[in-house]
A and B are shown apart, each in its own frame.
Chain A
Amino acid sequence: MTPRGKVSSIAGAVLVVSLAASSLALHRTDQLRPQATLDEVLFVSSPKVIKRADLGFDGLMACIYWTRAVQYFGFRHHNFATSYNLLAPLLELTVHLDPKMVVAYEFGTSFLAPEPPHGAGQPQAAVDLVNYGIQNNPGNWRLYYDLGFVYYMQLHDYPHAAETFEKGSHIPGAHPFLKVLAAQMAQHAGEYQTARMLWSATYETTQDKQIKDNALQHLRALRVDEDVDRLQQAVTRFGERTGRLPGSFAELLAAEGISGLPADPDGHAYRMTPEGRILVRNPDDFPFLTKGVPPGYKPPTKYRQM
């Protein structure tokens, strides 16, 4: 081989080996570093600092932080995280960089307010976020809806909820359901009907896939809760009438005059335990379920894909 050929082959070999070795080393270091440190650090937490550093390109930074917020939540939610410490700061950064990014406020109400693992468990942070949104987008009626939602669902503050829906209903172009909801608060707070109205409204009006899916799951769980409640009441009535528990589910249904087998939204029939407890077939399929679960039931540690 010529001298040049010799040098070339050695250089080429060194190149390949170094590439492999450095990749391996990197892989090893990645495994060493605990997952927490990778995403628990928000290097910059002040909107002011970012605004200075980004040379005026706030909009782009807002998009970047929004993307980060969505991915942060999605990833952790998928892995059944018990905390979402960075969600509020990320969303706050997003909206301070671009106060008009309305979808961020929506996301906040859907996922900041609920308790873990479904959300960050910070309803007040959600309220603050949406209030900031309303300040900066006074013509947006949907933000009032979002705010009212949080008051109702997580804070159970029905008067505030009513007030918010009422205020929102006056915004030009507001969806008529705001007025309806305001009225609903007064009379039917705490009822399934109301909850269903709210979740349906969210489901129908949002464009964000995660929010939509979340609303859907709530609606499904609501439906089961309602069904179980109704059937459970039937058991009680039966007991009051006959002084004993129904012998079988079929007996109960016959007594109530229900033809066919009541089934959950997935098509699986409900069943009754000998103690007269109405249960759903697969509680795991219905996150957010509060009724129809066996005693001592614990929700699964890993969700199936929504």
Chain B
Amino acid sequence: MANSIAHIASNTFREAVRDRVLYNLIAFALLLSGAAILVGQISIEIEKLVVINLGLTAVSLFGVVIAIFIGIGLVSKEIEKRTLYTVLSRPVRRWQFIVGKFFGLAGTLVVNTFFMAIGVFAALFYVSHKFVRADALIFVALYFIVLEFLIVCALALLFSSFSSPLLSAVFAFSLFVIGSFADDLRNFAAMAHGFSRWLATGAAYLVPNFSAFNVITSIAHEQPVAGQLILQNTIYAIFYAAMALSGAVLIFERRDLK
């Protein structure tokens, strides 16, 4: 059983690689190198600040875009192109298909992030000419970014399981944006009354909350990240992704594949 998932995951990964998705890394590398060189012309003090901020922001944004664009195609494209039929006519359960796709996509993003991280460290070395202990905090920021990706992947799969590629992309991206200011939503809920309060609170907990995942600004100033936060974020990401994936499975199990 786990084998089917592993096979589907590795096939999904292979698809991403052959689809030249990883070529986005080239664009990323160019962007980062250009920025690193340019930044040297502004004040010396904030060279490092800019490289870390820009680098990690780019890793985050590039990754989310990839997660959405590949993720939404994962199921919709397979149905459209009927590659799904020959897979499901085998002893593969529908839920295994969804879970396998998830891990394949997540794996692709982790590898992508890994290469991007190398780029960020290289740019950092270029401007600072050395590494300090505090630079290890960058790994924490990257870890949080990867957790964000897991959530976005799961959401992309969820929408992909019932919606067209275009709509799925719109939904997924909207949730990513909303998730960035989920805190505001909660504040709004706290101030509202009656039904709208109930509604807003529900929404605030239903949408993904990315505000706790973005530590780029603080680690750029070498501020440590609480171990508790790392643990909490990990738990949240795992459960949220599980929630979205279960939703995807529920929908997909019942769907007529016309």
- With A and B bound together, what is the CA distance between A63 and B39 in angstroms? 10
Q: A207-B43, A207-B45 in contact; A57/B57 too (CB < 8 A)? A: yes
Contact of A55 among B50, B52, B177 (CB under 8 A): B177
Among A56, A57, A67, A100: residue with most chain B CB under 10 A: A56
Give per-residue flags for A23-62: 1 if the beta carbon is below 8 A from chain B beta carbons, else 0.
0000000000000000000000000000010011111101
Q: Which of A90-123 contact B (CB under 8 A)?
A: 98, 100-101, 103
What residue in chain A is nearest B42 (Cβ atoms)? A67
Interface residue A70 (Cβ < 8 Å from any Cβ of B): yes
Interface residue B232 (Cβ < 8 Å from any Cβ of A): no
Is B43 a contact of A63 with CB atoms below 8 Å?
no
Interface residue B214 (Cβ < 8 Å from any Cβ of A): yes
Interface residue A151 (Cβ < 8 Å from any Cβ of B): no
9 A-B pairs with the lowest CB-CB distances in the bound complex, closest first: A59-B217, A56-B214, A59-B53, A55-B180, A60-B53, A100-B221, A207-B45, A60-B57, A56-B180
Q: Which of B12-44 contact A (CB under 8 A)?
A: 42-44
Give per-residue flags for B156-167: 1 if the beta carbon is below 8 A from chain A beta carbons, else 0.
000000000000
Interface residue A241 (Cβ < 8 Å from any Cβ of B): no
Interface residue A66 (Cβ < 8 Å from any Cβ of B): yes
Is A98 a contact of B217 with CB atoms below 8 Å?
yes
Among A63, A208, A209: residue with most chain B CB under 10 A: A63
- With A and B bound together, what is the CA distance between A63 and B216 in angstroms? 12
- With A and B bound together, what is the CA distance between A57 and B45 in angstroms? 20
Interface residue B230 (Cβ < 8 Å from any Cβ of A): no
Contact of A209 among B43, B50, B220 (CB under 8 A): B43
- With A and B bound together, what is the CA distance between A276 and B44 in angstroms? 47
Measuring CB to CB, which residues of chain A are less than 8 angstroms from any residue of chain B? 52, 55-60, 62-63, 66-67, 70, 98, 100-101, 103, 207-209
Interface of A, secondary structure class, is helix
For A57, what are the chain B residues with a Cβ–Cβ distance below 8 Å?
53, 57, 60, 214, 216
Interface of B, secondary structure class, is helix
Is A52 a contact of B181 with CB atoms below 8 Å?
yes
- With A and B bound together, what is the CA distance between A101 and B50 in angstroms? 11
Among B42, B44, B52: residue with most chain A CB under 10 A: B42
Is B49 a contact of A59 with CB atoms below 8 Å?
yes
Contact of A70 among B42, B52, B221 (CB under 8 A): B42
- With A and B bound together, what is the CA distance between A101 and B181 in angstroms? 23
- With A and B bound together, what is the CA distance between A209 and B40 in angstroms? 12
Interface residue B210 (Cβ < 8 Å from any Cβ of A): yes
Q: A55-B177, A63-B50 in contact; A103/B60 too (CB < 8 A)? A: no
For B220, what are the chain A residues with a Cβ–Cβ distance below 8 Å?
59
Interface residue B83 (Cβ < 8 Å from any Cβ of A): no
What residue in chain B is nearest A48 (Cβ atoms)? B184
Interface residue B65 (Cβ < 8 Å from any Cβ of A): no
- With A and B bound together, what is the CA distance between A129 and B218 in angstroms? 20
Is B210 a contact of A101 with CB atoms below 8 Å?
no
Is B180 a contact of A63 with CB atoms below 8 Å?
no
Q: Which of B52-66 contact A (CB under 8 A)?
A: 52-54, 57, 60
Question: Told that A55-B180, A56-B214, A59-B53 touch, could you supply 14 new A-B pairs with CB distance under 8 A?
Answer: A57-B216, A59-B49, A59-B216, A60-B216, A62-B53, A70-B42, A98-B217, A98-B221, A100-B223, A101-B49, A207-B43, A208-B44, A208-B45, A209-B44
For B181, what are the chain A residues with a Cβ–Cβ distance below 8 Å?
52, 56
Contact of B210 among A56, A98, A207, A208 (CB under 8 A): A56
- With A and B bound together, what is the CA distance between A158 and B60 in angstroms? 49
- With A and B bound together, what is the CA distance between A233 and B217 in angstroms? 56
Interface residue B196 (Cβ < 8 Å from any Cβ of A): no
For B42, what are the chain A residues with a Cβ–Cβ distance below 8 Å?
67, 70
What residue in chain A is nearest B60 (Cβ atoms)? A57
Interface residue B211 (Cβ < 8 Å from any Cβ of A): yes
Is A63 a contact of B46 with CB atoms below 8 Å?
yes
What residue in chain B is nearest A208 (Cβ atoms)? B43
Distance in angstroms from A93 CB to nearest chain B CB is 14
Is A60 a contact of B210 with CB atoms below 8 Å?
no
- With A and B bound together, what is the CA distance between A98 and B217 in angstroms? 7
